[in-house]
Amino acid sequence: MLVPENQVLALHGDLGAGKTTFIRGLARAWNIIEPVTSPTFNLYTLYQGSRQLVHLDAYRLASGTDLDALMIDDFLVPPWCLAVEWPERIADC
């Protein structure tokens, strides 16, 4: 699968549906060597390889306002991909 640069991926699925495993595959494709883990307790994790990968777990966010408070757009350095688990939690943004 080819993912264009500077894109947001919304990953839908139940708990344990393989969302983080999918992110690990993206990281491997983009030469990210650090271990990819679920960012549940951090909310998001930044990874750098041939593309910047921002892995966001929106499960604990109540709204788009909470997302704005994280200021993720300040960290997006092209080329990037923002992969969002539980995107329905922040669908209003």
Residue 2 domain-assigned (yes or no): no
Residue 28 domain-assigned (yes or no): yes
Residue 50 domain-assigned (yes or no): yes
Q: What 8-state DSSP symbol labels residue 90?
A: G
- Decide: residue 46, CB within 10 A, 0-12 exposed, 13-18 middle, 19+ buried: middle
pLDDT for the residue numbered 75: 83
List of residues 6+ apart from 26 with CB closer than 8 A: 3, 53, 81, 83
* Domain CATH code at residue 76: 3.40.50.300
Residue 74 domain-assigned (yes or no): yes
Q: What range does the domain containing 48 cover?
A: 7-90
Alpha helices, H only, 30-75: 64-70
pLDDT for the residue numbered 37: 87
Residue 36 domain-assigned (yes or no): yes
Task: Enter the tokens of residue 42.
Answer: 């951090």
Average pLDDT along the chain, 93 residues, taken 10 residues at a time: 88 81 93 89 91 92 84 89 90 76
Residue 73 domain-assigned (yes or no): yes
Query: Is the entire prediction scored with pTM above 0.85?
Result: yes
Residue 85 bridge partners (DSSP)? 11, 57
Residue 63 domain-assigned (yes or no): yes
Domain count, the chain: 1
pLDDT for the residue numbered 1: 56
